[in-house]
């Protein structure tokens, strides 16, 4: 539509947004379609949402498909290595809204998720 070829970064952003909206199966479908290597950040984003939403089904699929990543992540945490929380932005009207990984829900999240759901149906 806009002549944009989606890259890993675009997929990662959409996975994060879908996961935050509770659309875990949609986020999983996006991960399966991602070009290139799926990294710990995008998979961790989905796993974190699975934990918050108590969705073991999708979480198990992620862990089973990429078991090697979780061994490395566990080793890094034991050594005291941590990652900087990710964030996503979305423009609604003339205003940009920022979401942080692990943060509380945005005060306009209901409206934003409704807008995202409408866009995803197109």
C-alpha distance across the termini of the chain, in Å? 12
Please give the pLDDT value at position 24: 93
Residue 75's alpha-carbon distances to 13, 49, 97, in angstroms, are 26, 22, 34
Is the pTM above the cut of 0.75? no
Whether 45 contacts 86, CB under 8 Å: yes
Q: What is the pLDDT along the chain (122 residues), one digit of tens a residue?
A: 578 788 888 888 889 889 988 999 999 999 988 888 888 788 888 888 888 888 889 988 888 877 766 665 555 555 554 555 667 777 777 878 776 665 555 666 677 677 777 877 87
Please give the pLDDT value at position 78: 56
Whether 21 contacts 47, CB under 8 Å: no
d(CA 19, CA 119): 15
Looking at the DSSP bridge assignments, the partners of residue 66 are none
């Amino acid at each position: 539509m806009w002549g944009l070829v989606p890259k890993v970064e675009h997929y990662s952003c959409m996975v994060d947004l879908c996961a935050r909206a509770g659309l875990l199966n949609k986020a999983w479908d996006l991960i399966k379609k991602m070009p290139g290597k799926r990294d710990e950040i995008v998979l961790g984003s989905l796993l974190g949402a699975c934990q918050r939403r108590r969705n073991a089904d999708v979480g198990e699929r992620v862990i089973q498909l990429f078991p090697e990543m979780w061994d490395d992540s566990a080793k890094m945490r034991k050594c005291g290595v941590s990652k900087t929380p990710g964030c996503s932005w979305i423009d609604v009207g003339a205003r940009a809204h920022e979401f942080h990984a692990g943060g509380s829900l945005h005060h306009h999240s209901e409206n934003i998720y409704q807008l995202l759901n409408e866009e995803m149906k197109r």
